[in-house]
Structure 1
Amino acid sequence: MPCPICEKDSDQTYRPFCSKRCADLDLGRWMTGSYRVETEEPPEDQVAPEDPQEWKH
């Protein structure tokens, strides 16, 4: 399987990446929000109303 960052052959130590550098680049993208997982939950800084009838659809 090729490295998802640079497409070189992956290294068993850093699998699925080829090196620590590519693994760190991927982690940095997650930490800065470049990658996101879609969800229906409100952002952490927004609190959903406790009464479900007050929720906006």
Structure 2
Amino acid sequence: MATVVSCPTCGAKVTWEPASTYRPFCSDRCKKIDLGAWAEEKYTIPAVNLPEDPNTPDGPDLSDLN
């Protein structure tokens, strides 16, 4: 059974298979709309601004990461 996903732009159902050229998008149009949104910085990825020296007193406690 093939996986069916929703187009991130318009919500149309897309079968996830090699024949679906633009997957996860339903069409070249929806793919370009999404690319344009990224280019216009409508989407962002949150960033964490860590101090240059993580051992400074006001820096985050990174001891749990090891």
Q: TM-score w.r.t. structure 2 length? A: 0.57
Q: Work out whether residues 5 and 26 of structure 1, in 8 Å CA contact, stay in contact via their aligned partners in 2.
A: yes
Q: Which residue of 1 aligns with 2:38?
A: 30
The structure with more strand, counted as a fraction of residues = 2
Q: Supply the distance in 2 between the matched residues of 1:39 and 1:31 (Cα, whole angstroms).
A: 18
Q: Which one of 8, 20, 23 corresponds to residue 15 of structure 1?
A: 23
Partner of 2:8: 4
TM normalised by structure 1 equals: 0.65
Q: Which amino acid aligns with 2:9?
A: I
Structure 2 CA distance for aligned equivalents of residues 21 and 39 of structure 1: 30
The separation in 2 between residues aligned to 1:23 and 1:32, in whole angstroms, is 14
Question: Rg: which structure is higher?
Answer: 2
Instruction: Give the residue type in structure 1 aligned to 2:22.
Output: Y
- Structure 1 gaps, min length 5: 42-49
Q: How many residues align?
A: 49
Q: Which runs of 5+ in 2 are unaligned?
A: 57-66
Q: What is the CA–CA distance in structure 2 between the aligned matches of 1:27 and 1:18, rounded to whole Å?
A: 14
What is the RMSD of the two structures over their aligned residues, measured on CA atoms?
A: 2.6
